[in-house]
């Protein structure tokens, strides 16, 4: 994966190599995902474990489709943490997710410009 966080081969298989359909999906992700990442920050601020678990759960399929194993791993850990340990324990996971989200966003935008 050449230092990449993503392996878009799943999307490529899903859309049978149709780059325009992949681009549509990626653009949709780039439009919708920031809302869920913002919910992570909001959940920390309001100390609402339900918000944290919900946002992590909603982002999991996208992480899978993007072939982003670390993102998926941390989302799963956060969802579990929010449900069992409480918000303060989840802060390091949220911080990592926000950084991962920015990196994924950057990588996807670069992929779109290559096309």
* Mean pLDDT, all residues of the chain: 94
Q: Per the domain annotation, does 4 fall within a domain?
A: no
Position 49 pLDDT exceeds 50: yes
Q: Per the domain annotation, does 64 fall within a domain?
A: yes
Residue 56: half-sphere exposure toward Cβ, Cα within 13 Å: 28
Q: What pLDDT sits at residue 66? A: 95
What total of structural domains would you count in the chain?
Answer: 1
Q: Residue 68: give its domain's CATH number.
A: 1.20.120.160
Tell me the residue range of the domain where 55 lies: 9-114
- Average of per-residue pLDDT across 96-106: 96
Better-scored residue on pLDDT, 75 or 114: 75
- Residue 115 confidence class, pLDDT cut points 50, 70, 90: low
Q: What pLDDT sits at residue 1? A: 40
Q: Is 103 exposed, middle or buried (0-12, 13-18, 19+ CB in 10 A)?
A: middle
Q: Per the domain annotation, does 1 fall within a domain?
A: no
Question: How big is the CA angle at 45 (ends 43 and 49), to the nearest 5 degrees?
Answer: 30
Q: What pLDDT, in 10s, does the model give residues 12-48?
A: 999 999 999 999 999 999 999 999 999 999 999 999 9
């Amino acid at each position: 994966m050449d230092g990449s966080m993503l392996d878009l081969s799943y999307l490529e298989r899903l859309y049978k190599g149709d780059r325009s359909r992949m681009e549509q999906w990626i653009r949709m992700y780039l439009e919708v995902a920031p809302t869920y990442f913002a919910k992570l920050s909001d959940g920390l601020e309001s100390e609402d474990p339900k918000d944290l678990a919900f946002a992590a759960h909603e982002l999991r399929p996208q992480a899978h489709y993007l072939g982003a194993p670390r993102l998926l791993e941390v989302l799963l850990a956060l969802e579990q943490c929010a449900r069992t340990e409480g918000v303060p324990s989840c802060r390091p996971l949220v911080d990592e997710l926000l950084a991962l989200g920015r990196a994924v966003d950057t990588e996807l935008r670069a992929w779109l410009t290559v096309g």
